[in-house]
Amino acid sequence: MRVLLLQPPLLPAAEVTPPLGLTTLSSWLRARGHETRILDLDLEVRERDSAAEDRYVPLFERGLADFSPDVCAVTSMYSNSLQAEHLVRAAKRFRPELVTVAGGAHFGALGPASLRRLPELDFAIQGEGEPALSGLLDALANGGDWKSVPSLCHRENGEVVTNTAHAQIDLDTLPPMWSTLGESLDLRRYVATIQPGSPRRLIYIEAGRGCPFACTFCATAPFWKRQFRVKPAQAIVDEMRFLYEEHGYDSFMLVHDLLTVSPKFMAEFCDTMLAAKLPVEWMANSRTDIRLKGLLPKMKASGCWKLFFGIESASERIQKVVDKHLDPKTAETTVAELAEHGISCTCSFVLGQPDERADELSASITLGARLKMLGADIVQFHRLRMWPPAPITTSALPVDFDLDSLRIEYPFIEVPEKHVEAILSDNDFFSGYFVPETIGGTPNQLGQVEMFFHHAVTLAPYTVAGLGQLTHGGLVSAFYDALAVEGPLKREELSWDATGDPSANWRAMRPLFQSLLAHADLTEDARTLARGLFDYEEWRLHFLRGVPAPTPPAAAGGTWSAFLSPLDVPQAIERLRAGEDLTEDLLGERILILAREASGGFASYELDADQLPELQQPDSELVRELSAVN
Amino acid sequence: MTEAQINAPVKESRLRALRPRQFQDPLLDAPVKITPTQIFA
């Protein structure tokens, strides 16, 4: 049969990687004699105009006319479920006899509800998609009975019926992926989205499925029935080799909820990578309490450049509430240990558990800032959302809707009013757009915490870590006070893309940040320490970007800039990294100098404050020497 | 320190005579970039 595999638009991003679930399905179906084409509307939209909210349905209709499929199978994440629904309706409008099927994270968790809501949807697949979709196609092609197709939701005499699930597949049985896609996917179009000067050519590939843990907020562990499975190490490495040799990809995200949970597999994978001698790098998901110390040298040698950690909360109480049971202290040790081995990490936090207090949110944000200081490449703050089949979504919690929060993950920056109305009309089906009520703040406050600190920790981690420490749990409540005075940040004022301009984000956040410093409950000395860190980081950010800072430097030359600091910043950095207190003995004026070296690197110096007049004399020996730094 | 760092020629010796002291801010070595929202980035 001819099957169009459809990806709705996702959140705006400059670089697009192929939709992994559809790619796997395509190779699975082609191995069984079906003709497939992947229509990635995310790619189609980004290639044209990322703001074009109304473009994707016409692009889909053109795709239908070009390929003329028998079956249209749509996948969906929670953030694009409304677009998926629009596409299913458009498919039936286009040709009523076209068979429509939906699966993936959203429909795979809400199969029966999808059929009850969407008359235009013929079938939904619960959970793992490969055997169910090929089973359905076989039944359709042969006039067979789809009642025996495992995990398939369908209608029978007006009732929605879900067939019995089957055992999940052995991942050894998946065919080779990328090399068998034929004309169903043109990888060159994805390669073309890689930004000029990008340090790595990144693609996501599947390493396996299933995490054995049972965190209450997690949707993917129950989706895969908490059954840990991996592809053979050699098969993964063969995929990497093909993508490197044929398309130049040199960086691979090994998609798996928790790949490192099996040290035995990790050792085998690293050995296979070392034997393959591919000049590529990889990253994977881990937990900070999985002890990889003995494996780290081998991981690094085999190309591991980064691990992803879900840390979620700095509160031991919340760790227990969400059944994650991480000791937050291990996060710092693990991140520092990785940095020693030259491996970076992304650390992710989930904010807004129903009974998470504002002081616990403050502790998580402070820990995030410290992890950034200790070597984390990226620290993310995500608001808890209700994603079925996560255990928390079965507990009938009161939920809230917040437009700004939605817009952080929505496929389009502008959200039409009719979309909002549609989402609000069915908070079971669109529960991924909703957040549980929490004692930590109102929906708008939490949305602003997510928006502000996600960026503040990236751009000014010392200031956030220092403020977190000095306010003793009062960081978030001070932020709420500042918010009440300054008004909210606006989603469209901030770039959320790694290729965006950080100094533009800084300008958008600066008034709220300054207000936060003013509203923090601090002694005069403590406020001077916090403001000194803020001013230093503002200056550093602008100097590194080569753009003028809002406050002029104390002195500057062509390749250097001097800043008059009210505190001993170098000592403050050391204390913050060591987890020690910032105290008033750090106060005292001194000059800090940043200089751009000919190599592109940066040198940093401190100088006694009384040398400022020398720095301000263009012909002084000090200025001549600084200008010659290389 | 690595062997190469230990044996590296001392730079900015004249600067040192003028009393600037080098300090370490690890973030100077990190790229300044916006944090993406994609999970698993």
Q: What is the CATH number of the domain that holds A75?
A: 3.40.50.2300
ipTM higher than the 0.85 cut: no
Q: Say if residue B15's pLDDT is above 90.
A: no
pLDDT of the residue at A280: 98
Domain count, chain A: 2
What is the tens place of the pLDDT at every residue in A323-336? 999 998 899 999 99
**Average pLDDT over every residue of A124-140:** 96
pLDDT of the residue at B41: 56
Give contacts of A 126-165 with B, CB under 8 A: none
Q: Does A610 fall in a domain?
A: yes
Q: Say if residue B5's pLDDT is above 60.
A: no
Q: Say if residue B12's pLDDT is above 60.
A: no
**Average pLDDT over every residue of A104-129:** 96
Residue type, A415: V
Residues 6+ apart with CB under 8 A from A597: A559, A603, A629, A630
Task: Please give the structure tokens belonging to residue A537.
Answer: 């980081």
Report the relative pairing of strands A281-286 and A304-312 from DSSP bridges. Answer: parallel
Confidence bin at B10 (pLDDT 50/70/90):
very low
Q: Which domain holds residue A75?
A: 2-162
Across the interface, which of A204, A454, A577 has its CB nearest the CB of B35? Answer: A454
H/E stretch holding A459 reads: helix A443-459
**Any chain A CB within 8 A of the CB of B1?**
no
Q: Does A339 fall in a domain?
A: no
Interface test with B, best of A20, A605, A606 (most B CBs within 10 A): A605
pLDDT of the residue at A248: 96
Report the relative pairing of strands A434-436 and A399-401 from DSSP bridges. Answer: antiparallel
Q: Does A408 fall in a domain?
A: no
A186 DSSP assignment:
-
Point out the least confidently predicted range of A71-75, A206-210, A341-345, A494-498: A494-498
Final residue of a structural domain among A146, A162, A178: A162
What is d(CA A38, CA A181) in angstroms, rounded to the nearest whole number?
10
Give contacts of B 2-31 with A, CB under 8 A: 12, 14-15, 18-31
**Average pLDDT over every residue of A585-603:** 93
Residues A83 and A107 sit within 8 Å (Cβ to Cβ): no
**Average pLDDT over every residue of A216-225:** 95
pLDDT of the residue at A404: 76
pLDDT of the residue at B9: 46
The helix-helix angle for A358-374 and A461-470 (nearest 10°) equals 140
Final residue of a structural domain among A162, A182, A207: A162
Point out the least confidently predicted range of A258-267, A298-307, A418-427, A513-522: A418-427
Confidence bin at A523 (pLDDT 50/70/90):
very high
pTM, full prediction: 0.92
Q: Say if residue A274's pLDDT is above 70.
A: yes
In this complex, do A569 and B23 lie within 8 Å of one another by their Cβ atoms?
A: yes
Final residue of a structural domain among A144, A162, A180: A162
Confidence bin at B3 (pLDDT 50/70/90):
low
A215 DSSP assignment:
-
**Minimum Cα–Cα distance from A496: chain B residue:** B36
Residue type, A230: V
**Minimum Cα–Cα distance from A408: chain B residue:** B37
Q: Does A478 fall in a domain?
A: no
Q: Does A592 fall in a domain?
A: yes
In this complex, do A373 and B37 lie within 8 Å of one another by their Cβ atoms?
A: no
Q: Say if residue B19's pLDDT is above 80.
A: no
In this complex, do A285 and B20 lie within 8 Å of one another by their Cβ atoms?
A: no
Point out the least confidently predicted range of A154-163, A308-317, A400-409: A400-409
What is the tens place of the pLDDT at every residue in A20-73? 999 999 999 999 999 999 999 999 887 776 555 667 899 999 999 999 999 999
What is d(CA A613, CA A313) in angstroms, rounded to the nearest whole number?
48
Q: Does A615 fall in a domain?
A: yes
The helix-helix angle for A443-459 and A502-519 (nearest 10°) equals 120
Phi then psi for residue A74, to 5 deg, are -110, 140
Confidence bin at A464 (pLDDT 50/70/90):
very high
**Average pLDDT over every residue of A546-564:** 94
A267: left (phi over 0), alpha (psi -120 to 50) or beta: alpha
**Residue among A140, A87, A139, A93 nearest A114 (CA):** A87
Sheet holding A587-596, edge to edge: A555-556, A560-567, A587-596, A602-608, B21-22
What is d(CA A293, CA A289) in angstroms, rounded to the nearest whole number?
11
Residues of B in contact with A629 (CB under 8 A): 12, 15
* Least Cα separation, residue A155 to chain B (angstroms): 35
Q: Does A155 fall in a domain?
A: yes
**Residue among A458, A399, A459 nearest A432 (CA):** A399
- A401 bridge partner residues: A434
In this complex, do B23 and A606 lie within 8 Å of one another by their Cβ atoms?
A: yes
Q: Does A28 fall in a domain?
A: yes
pLDDT of the residue at A338: 96
